[in-house]
């Protein structure tokens, strides 16, 4: 078997081809001639900065030698954290994820680096280097000796957050895998985890689970608030938000669940309760004022929403004014406006015309709302399903089928079985009106849906 040329061999070959003496190449790279000589002789290890200087001097793109450097410095030689840490950062920043995976798989055999790797993963997470962070978190979790440690639980929490996709099966699998670790987290971080889990389960229509998590969140938040007031010396906040936020948000979840169960009076009562929670905050900070404003805005919008779903369309004009000032709520609002219109056979053409541009932006993915990607996807599917029903009820068949196919496309890509079935059922009632183009689009989507996907 032929061994791959080392970086040193590549460099020496380049110098011969370019007829460069050591001093000249030293001048080009900016590396001291004595240091460069020692590197080329193999008597001195090469730093990442020196590697980048040599690579640039040879006219190659940054990262050209990263795979070779990883093998030579961390697999074939004993790894040293002083060189490994900058290597991980450089690879993460230019997307050399395979290099990180290759080196980390080898390095984690030495458990002395677990703590440092976790700290780097946390820094990657904060900086938005999510794919690189995920590799480190998974390696640390696999190598964690103390299976009940808080660090392991935090790794699993980060993995859960980073594994979320638009595929509902993947999300459910990630949630089920993470949930047993919640109790091992810091007590305040548990509140973030419960909120994130409830958000995810709500996109799957698992309302009993959402309600259960909301009640548990309220219980744990109340306990943390009590402990906070009992402490003589205030500790720095660990949770992402002020504590009251989690109680208010959990009650908002309970209102949402009640609304989905068509218990609209109960939903309005919960809405009053979470608004009361935020109104009780004394001398709020700037951050708390922003959150209070957010919850009060949600409460106002949700009251219109639950009244509409109860059949009270007299609030629709006031809802228009609210949405004019709160564009981030439009995708959510129209799901329920159309649902109410379909349920009570009420004409909302004026509303659709008023916000036509916003709906078109949602359709063409130009519109970004305030919710996370999974929730946005869930609302997108429901919005165009309800819009399709509304158009079909108006006998606007061609437009209605187009909207239905829009919803089905996202259902298929997300493996949303329940909404797929609803779309297929509705299409079946109007299939004989579909154009050849629409039927072809529909058939392609059904073919994708019927092909089983095997996962390891």
Q: What is the mean pLDDT of each run of 10 residues along the chain (456 residues)?
A: 69 92 93 92 90 94 93 88 94 95 84 89 95 94 80 94 81 91 95 95 93 97 88 80 96 97 97 96 94 96 96 96 92 94 96 93 63 78 95 95 94 86 94 94 86 39
Query: In this structure, is residue 229 part of a structural domain?
Result: yes
CATH number of the structural domain spanning residue 277: 1.25.40
Report the SS3 class of residue 133. Answer: helix
Give the per-residue pLDDT at 93: 95
Query: In this structure, is residue 263 part of a structural domain?
Result: yes
Together in a domain, 230 and 328:
no
Which of 294, 304, 296, 267 has its CA nearest to residue 279? 296
Together in a domain, 432 and 330:
yes
Together in a domain, 259 and 295:
yes
Query: 372: which DSSP letter?
Result: -
Domain boundary among 264, 292, 310: 310
Together in a domain, 258 and 335:
no
Query: In this structure, is residue 134 part of a structural domain?
Result: no
Domain boundary among 269, 295, 310: 310
Query: In this structure, is residue 121 part of a structural domain?
Result: no
Together in a domain, 303 and 318:
no
Give the per-residue pLDDT at 232: 63
Together in a domain, 318 and 446:
yes
Which of 410, 298, 302, 394 has its CA nearest to residue 348? 394
Query: In this structure, is residue 275 part of a structural domain?
Result: yes
- Cα-based torsion angle of the residue sequence 439, 445, 449, 452 in order, rounded to the nearest 10 degrees: 110
Give the per-residue pLDDT at 456: 32
Domain that holds residue 291: 186-310
Query: 71: which DSSP letter?
Result: I
Together in a domain, 354 and 446:
yes
Give the per-residue pLDDT at 452: 43
Give the per-residue pLDDT at 418: 86
Give the per-residue pLDDT at 315: 96
Give the per-residue pLDDT at 1: 30
Residue pair 152/178 in contact by the 8 Å Cβ criterion: no
Query: In this structure, is residue 416 part of a structural domain?
Result: yes
Together in a domain, 321 and 421:
yes
Give the per-residue pLDDT at 4: 54
Counted domains in the chain: 2
Q: For residues 337 and 351, what is the distance between their CA atoms, to the nearest angstrom?
A: 9
Query: In this structure, is residue 64 part of a structural domain?
Result: no
In the block, tokens 């004022």 appear at 289
Query: In this structure, is residue 39 part of a structural domain?
Result: no
Together in a domain, 349 and 426:
yes
Together in a domain, 251 and 301:
yes
Give the Cβ contact number of residue 222 at 10 Å: 13
Q: For residues 65 and 225, what is the distance between their CA atoms, to the nearest angstrom?
A: 53
Give the per-residue pLDDT at 449: 76
Verdict on whether the full-model pTM lies above 0.75: yes
In the block, tokens 């089983």 appear at 452
Together in a domain, 439 and 324:
yes
Domain boundary among 282, 310, 338: 310
Together in a domain, 365 and 276:
no
């Amino acid at each position: 078997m032929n061994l791959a040329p080392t970086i040193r061999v590549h460099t020496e070959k380049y110098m011969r081809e370019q007829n460069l003496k050591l001093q000249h190449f030293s001048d080009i790279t900016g590396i001291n001639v004595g240091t460069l000589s020692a590197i080329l002789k193999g008597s001195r290890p090469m730093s990442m900065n020196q590697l980048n200087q040599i690579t640039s001097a040879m006219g190659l793109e940054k990262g050209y030698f990263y795979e070779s450097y990883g093998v030579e410095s961390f697999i074939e030689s004993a790894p040293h954290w002083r060189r490994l840490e900058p290597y991980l950062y450089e690879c993460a920043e230019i997307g050399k994820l395979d290099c990180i995976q290759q080196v980390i798989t080898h390095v984690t055999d030495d458990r002395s680096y677990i703590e440092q790797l976790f700290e780097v993963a946390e820094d990657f997470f904060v900086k938005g280097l999510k794919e690189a962070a995920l590799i480190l978190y998974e390696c640390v979790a696999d190598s964690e000796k103390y299976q009940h440690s808080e660090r392991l639980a935090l790794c699993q929490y980060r993995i859960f957050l980073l594994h979320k996709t638009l595929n509902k099966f993947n999300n459910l699998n990630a949630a089920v895998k993470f949930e047993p670790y919640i109790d091992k987290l810091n007590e305040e971080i548990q509140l973030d985890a419960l909120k994130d889990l409830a958000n995810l389960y709500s996109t799957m229509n698992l309302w009993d689970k959402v309600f259960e998590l909301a009640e548990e969140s309220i219980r744990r938040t109340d306990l943390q608030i009590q402990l906070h007031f009992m402490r003589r010396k205030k500790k720095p906040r660990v949770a992402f938000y002020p504590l009251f936020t989690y109680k208010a948000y959990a009650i908002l979840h309970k209102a949402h669940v009640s609304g989905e169960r068509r218990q609209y009076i109960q939903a309005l009562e919960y809405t009053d309760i979470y608004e009361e929670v935020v109104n009780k905050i004394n001398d709020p900070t700037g951050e708390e004022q922003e959150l209070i404003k957010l919850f009060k805005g949600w409460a106002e919008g949700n009251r219109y929403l639950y009244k509409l779903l109860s059949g009270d369309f007299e609030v629709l004009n006031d809802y228009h004014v609210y949405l004019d000032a709160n564009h981030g709520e439009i995708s959510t609002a129209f799901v329920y406006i159309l649902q109410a219109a379909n349920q009570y056979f009420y004409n909302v053409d004026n509303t659709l015309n008023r916000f036509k541009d916003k709906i078109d932006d949602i359709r063409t993915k130009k519109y970004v709302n305030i919710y996370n990607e999974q929730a946005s996807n869930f609302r997108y599917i429901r919005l165009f399903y309800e819009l399709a029903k509304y158009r079909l009820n108006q006998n606007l068949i061609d437009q209605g089928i187009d909207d239905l196919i829009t919803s089905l496309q996202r259902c298929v890509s997300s493996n949303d079985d329940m909404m797929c079935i609803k779309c297929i059922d509705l299409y079946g009632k109007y299939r004989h009106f579909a154009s050849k183009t629409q039927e072809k689009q529909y058939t392609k989507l059904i073919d994708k849906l019927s092909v089983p996907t095997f996962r390891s």
